Amino acid sequence: MKTSDGPWATARRAPSAEASESPASASGGGHGVPCDLVTVPARQGLEAVDILRRGSGEAPAVGPVVLDGTCDNLGFLVPPGTAAGWDMPGSACTETAGRGLRVPAEPPLTGGAWLLPPDAGTGEVTDPAVLREALGEAARLIEAADGHR
């Protein structure tokens, strides 16, 4: 994956290799619906979470979000099959549905912690199209902020 130096470096940087590996909890346990995991750099991910939480409508636009153990990356749980068509620069999507990952009680990244824990009542994950839009908007906000320093 291509990375960039300069003002887009944070927004376009690829997630770490650890964040892009198969989630630690990819064995059958957990609850809710099966899911894949989109990982992004923490700065862009936090902006995207804010954008998604401000979204319109009564239903939350963002599902469970995990912060990795080094606080470098955020992971968004998305529907299974998302990885097959995911091509957002600066992010990675790990296909986990074939290995039985479901919305887990424990964060699916080694050493990670929930930023937004799963709602045991719904088991909903983030819509990939909505996430893609939020990540794009977050990248533009970061570029604008870095350009005014």
Helix axes 42-53, 128-147, angle to 10 degrees: 120
pLDDT tens digits, one per residue of 16-74:
554 444 444 433 444 556 789 999 999 999 999 999 988 766 666 889 999 988 889 99
Give the H/E segment covering residue 75: strand 73-78
Mean pLDDT, the chain, rounded, equals: 75
The separation between the first and the last C-alpha atoms of the chain, rounded to the nearest angstrom, is 27
Q: Which of 32, 75, 49, 76 is nearest to 137 (CA)?
A: 49
The H or E element spanning position 9 is helix 9-12
% of the chain residues with pLDDT over 90: 38
User: Considering the entire predicted model, what is its pTM?
Assistant: 0.73
Structure tokens at 129: 């199209």
Give the CA angle between residues 65, 68, 36 to the nearest 5°: 50
Segment 88-113 mean pLDDT: 74
Q: CA-to-CA distance for 52 and 69, rounded, in angstroms?
A: 23
Tell me the sheet residues that pair with 39. 75, 92
pLDDT of 122 strictly over 90: no
Is the pLDDT confidence value at 103 over 50? yes
* Strand pairing class (113-116; 73-78): unpaired
